[in-house]
Amino acid sequence: MSTPVVAPRRSRVILGVVLPLAAGVIAAFAIGSQTGVAPVIMVCAAIYLFAAAIGRRWASWAGFAISFLVLAPGFVLHDPWIPIIALGAIQIALVIVGLVRGVWRTRINLLQLVGAVLFSALAVAAAAGAAPWAGVVTVIALLAHGAWDLWHHHLDAVVMRSYALFCAALDIVLAVVVAVAMIAGA
């Protein structure tokens, strides 16, 4: 008669589901207090591009850690263009790295290039737009990226599943925070 193994399964659920979802919600409220969240859209796509370019799913969490260095100057100076320009340069470098490594041959990795272009274009449109349309574009882009995250979580591809859940929670909750702020006139 064997004893059921409960503790490892519980810790996997906590580390792989509960913790990423809670961290995503907390991050959304922390970011939502900032002005100009458009670069967040672009950084989310860049993290997927980073993981695909180097071919390591754990790179999603490393990319998230690095993203603080890219986003912080924009938040501190209230200038979304600083991280957007930096992220554009980083994404070009990642495309080159991926070309050298030959990773853009697979459909899922090629899709990361398409996603990076589309989400970056939405981030630029949100940063360049005037209220209320900039906010509307931001909300739509965040919700679209949240769906992107959930799809990648379902596929268990490109990024770690825990990161996909984290990012989905961040994107969706941040979209709600931005929408509420728009409605409230903030």
Residues 166, 44 contacting (CB under 8 angstroms): no
What CA–CA distance (Å, rounded) separates 108 from 148? 12
What CA–CA distance (Å, rounded) separates 186 from 107? 41
Residues near 78 by beta carbon (within 8 Å), at least 6 away in sequence: 35, 36
Closest CA to 140 of 38, 31, 62: 38
Locate tokens 């859209």: which residue?
41
What's the predicted TM-score (pTM) here? 0.89
What CA–CA distance (Å, rounded) separates 133 from 131? 5
Write out the chain's pLDDT in tens, 186 residues.
565 555 567 666 566 678 888 888 998 888 876 667 999 999 999 999 999 999 999 999 999 999 999 999 998 998 999 999 999 999 999 999 999 999 999 999 999 999 999 999 999 999 999 888 999 999 999 999 999 999 999 999 999 999 999 999 999 999 999 999 989 886
Locate tokens 């207090």: which residue?
33
What is the DSSP code (8-state) at residue 106? Answer: S
Q: What confidence tens digit (pLDDT) does each residue in 40-90 have?
A: 999 999 999 999 999 999 999 999 999 999 999 998 998 999 999 999 999
